[in-house]
A and B are shown apart, each in its own frame.
Chain A
């Protein structure tokens, strides 16, 4: 029996940790709680390595068991472990492990650190469930639990004014996309009568189902993915989600959960391939998101917001890759992005931890105070910017190559443009935070390096941010693509590589010229764009939602409330009034009629008694008189 059949343990282990945390509350010492979490995740990581090793030897697992049945309908649960799942398992468990290690330092002294670990473990369990599921139903259930964990972690510091609304926004916006996911499931069950990946793909391939239906299902899945993966126009929750603790952001809102949408589309890819124009929709949305996110990131001065918009942009990049038809490139970028973006988030957390500020303008010169953080951040930033031979370069190159080969030159052009913007904003953030001379309101003077529990995960991730890309590079013979089952590797284009490198270098140089040498100042030249214009206002999308969705909904709710109190309440009150009046009448009848009759009867008896008792005056002669009178009467009557 294959070791893979124990794969169900992977999500169960962190779930058990969550249950323990939930059950014990504050009873367990903090050390026990985080040791449990880290130990559990280490076991899961080891298990994921086993899964990877097994799948790389061609073993796969695809089992189902009956979950419930009613009538003729049966719903199965089950697990699928294939190279894609194994890769996702590694990414999730590894980042979760490092985040939990890092949180020992970052969350040190927080009153609710146990709950933090509980929520992280709940999230990990759900995400592992998502990637292990062999059917969309189980995936959807875990998907929703993941949303719940995200909500819990965004609202973790509920004392802060911005956290609860951010948590609610994230939940509602992602739910909006998930409605699409749910509808897709309904549509799928009516047309395929199963949720199982393999069966559905088989039926799709045989053409057993109308392509229009498949397209609808694919696009509705994509709606769910858009919500979870923060794609335009459902991206608005992700920047706000930065109100949560930074390690949580690193795990959920950078590395794993937001990538679940990409995973969903990649996993459902045969559906999209069956109706190719759906891929164009996916790619277009991805491209819009990639460019928009990168543009907004240019003007953010909160270090976490820069990373948040960068994440949105990079997720858009992955959807762009899916749109070009290469889900392998998307997953490859997902993996490298998970490593370097988790690294960047955790380095940003270290910066926030050490300097006490999130504002880039209040930093500056941190390089001297925080050497480890700086070194790891720079590696992550270079990787994201796409400098070879770091991981981001290879995965981005795969995507651009796929765009080139698919002939979608719009995607290619915007992809390169995004790469330029990415290099620029990462350069900007790097220079402003670490290398410029500290400004007057800088808080760098009392900054300090973070403890080793924080820097060690950074260093580990930095190694991966540098090397993880190599496995998918031509240097390693496209090992990643082969592992995923893509046997004919695309012809590498060295010209494209050169252009990509040139773009990345240009972006960084531009940032260097702007913020270190100050040859030109974007904030000055492009003030109408950067400071007061569309970039700093995030293209007014939040405002559009506020006026287009939130206010109308509130107005409708207000109207409904008014109608409720004016009409429904009035009717209820009228009923009450009529009831009161009727009962008042009944009361009168009761008192005057029924009570009166009884009273009259009683009074009558009493009166009669009073009258009659006067005869009994105690005088024997009177009695005798009556007796005689009675005899006389009787005689008079009967003696005739």
Chain B
């Protein structure tokens, strides 16, 4: 059995769904950030897969992946900083009990 585009897409979709599930259900802010990373990487996988199978000559998708990784790194930095600040200012570790933005 040869590895086709569909396998990658299914894997990416699975990763994406796991990420979404994690984001929606995790109590810990840290795990939310990890799950967001999973989602981003599912997207990266998709981009890489399309790049490799649809237009292998030009590495357009791959270059987008590189950009996205940088953005993800920045995002993780920002998220970690927020989480640390939150932990310091309020004794809240569980993200689902945070409802200060309630309308």
* Chain A interface (Cβ < 8 Å from any Cβ of B): 613, 616-621, 624-625, 628
Contacts and interface: CB of A to CB of B under 8 A. Distances in A.
B24 A616 contact: no
Contacts of A624: 23-24
Given A625-B24, A628-B24, A617 B96 contact: no
A619 B95 CA distance: 8
B20 A616 contact: no
Nearest to A628: B20
B99 interface: yes
Given A624-B23, A624-B24, A628-B24, A619 B103 contact: no
Contacts of A616: 102-103
Contacts of B24: 621, 624-625, 628
Given A624-B24, A628-B24, A618 B95 contact: no
Contacts of A613: 103
Contacts of A620: 95, 98, 101
B99 A619 contact: yes
B100 interface: yes
Given A628-B20, A628-B24, A621 B103 contact: no
Nearest to A613: B103
Interface string B66-103: 00000000000000000000000000000110111111
Interface in B3-39: 20, 23-25
A619 B96 contact: yes
B44 to A, nearest CB: 19
B95 A621 contact: yes
Contacts of A628: 20, 24
A624 B95 CA distance: 13
A621 B102 contact: no
Contacts of A617: 99, 102
Nearest to B23: A624
A619 B24 CA distance: 10
A621 B99 contact: no
B9 to A, nearest CB: 14
A613 B99 CA distance: 13
A619 B98 CA distance: 6
A618 B23 contact: no
Contacts of B103: 613, 616, 618
A618 B96 contact: no
The 4 closest A-B pairs by CB, nearest first: A618-B102, A618-B99, A616-B103, A618-B101
A618 B100 CA distance: 6
Contacts of B23: 621, 624
12 contacts: A616-B103, A618-B98, A618-B100, A619-B99, A620-B95, A620-B98, A620-B101, A621-B23, A621-B24, A621-B96, A624-B23, A625-B24
A429 B96 CA distance: 130
A633 to B, nearest CB: 15
A23 B103 CA distance: 83
A624 B23 CA distance: 8
Given A616-B102, A619-B99, A620-B95, 5 more contacts: A618-B100, A619-B96, A621-B25, A621-B96, A625-B24
Nearest to B26: A621
Interface-centre pick from A613, A616, A619 (highest chain B CB count, 10 A): A619
Contacts of B25: 621
Contacts of B95: 620-621
A377 to B, nearest CB: 115
Contacts of A618: 98-103
Contacts of B99: 617-619
Contacts of A621: 23-25, 95-96
A276 to B, nearest CB: 116
A135 B24 CA distance: 118
B20 to A, nearest CB: 6
Nearest to A616: B103
B24 to A, nearest CB: 5
A621 B96 CA distance: 7
Interface string B43-83: 00000000000000000000000000000000000000000
A616 B96 CA distance: 14
A614 to B, nearest CB: 9
A618 B99 CA distance: 4
Contacts of A619: 96, 98-99
A469 to B, nearest CB: 121
Nearest to B101: A618
A625 B32 CA distance: 13
B40 to A, nearest CB: 15
A151 to B, nearest CB: 89
A628 B103 CA distance: 20
Nearest to B25: A621
A620 B36 CA distance: 14
A629 to B, nearest CB: 10
A87 to B, nearest CB: 112
A62 B24 CA distance: 124
A620 B32 CA distance: 11
Nearest to A632: B20
B12 to A, nearest CB: 15
A618 B23 CA distance: 16
A451 B82 CA distance: 125
Contacts of B101: 618, 620
A454 B99 CA distance: 115
Interface-centre pick from A613, A621, A624, A625 (highest chain B CB count, 10 A): A621
A616 B103 CA distance: 5
